[in-house]
Amino acid sequence: MTKSLFAQETQKRAFTCNMSAIPAETRPAYNKLTETIIRAVEDRRELSDGYSFRFSREQIKADQLIAWIDLEKKCCPFFGFEIHWEKENGPLSLHLTGEEGVKPFIEAEFGQR
């Protein structure tokens, strides 16, 4: 596949979640984790390929974030995930990234702040 053909295919790609990838019995826990994560966002910073979200340590724990990522990557495999723990018990952050065009999808998922 030539580079220009690959670029055309990438631009045509729609970012859609495959919710059937998360088992029906797990979806209520996934939905609760998603709500918890969205409520816990203290700051959102735009990155070149996505967003960085800083969370309230009082509202979300690292194991909850990891559990959410484990489920989210099943339905949305186009996301890249990086967790950052700052030293001295500092903030917990998530870099949520993807290919060109993923930012509007992230904005819709996490809402405008």
Task: Determine phi and psi for 95, rounding to 5 degrees.
Answer: -95, 120
For the chain, which residues make up each domain, given as ranges? 26-110
Q: In what order do the strands lie in the sheet with 41-47?
A: 41-47, 50-55, 92-97, 80-85
Output the six-digit token pair for 63. 């194991």
How many CB atoms are closer than 10 A to CB 17?
Answer: 16
Q: Could you tell me the sign of the dihedral formed by the alpha carbons of 99, 41, 81, 69, in that order?
A: negative
Cα–Cα distances in Å, from 102 out to 33, 38, 48, 90?
21, 18, 11, 28
> Tell me, what's the pLDDT at 112?
54
Q: What pLDDT tens digit does each residue of the chain (113 aa) get?
A: 433 333 344 445 567 888 899 999 999 999 999 999 999 999 999 999 999 999 988 899 999 999 999 999 999 999 999 999 888 888 899 999 999 889 998 988 887 54
> Tell me, what's the pLDDT at 13?
59
Could you tell me the pTM of the whole model?
0.82
Q: CATH topology for 26-110?
A: Endonuclease I-creI (3.10.28)
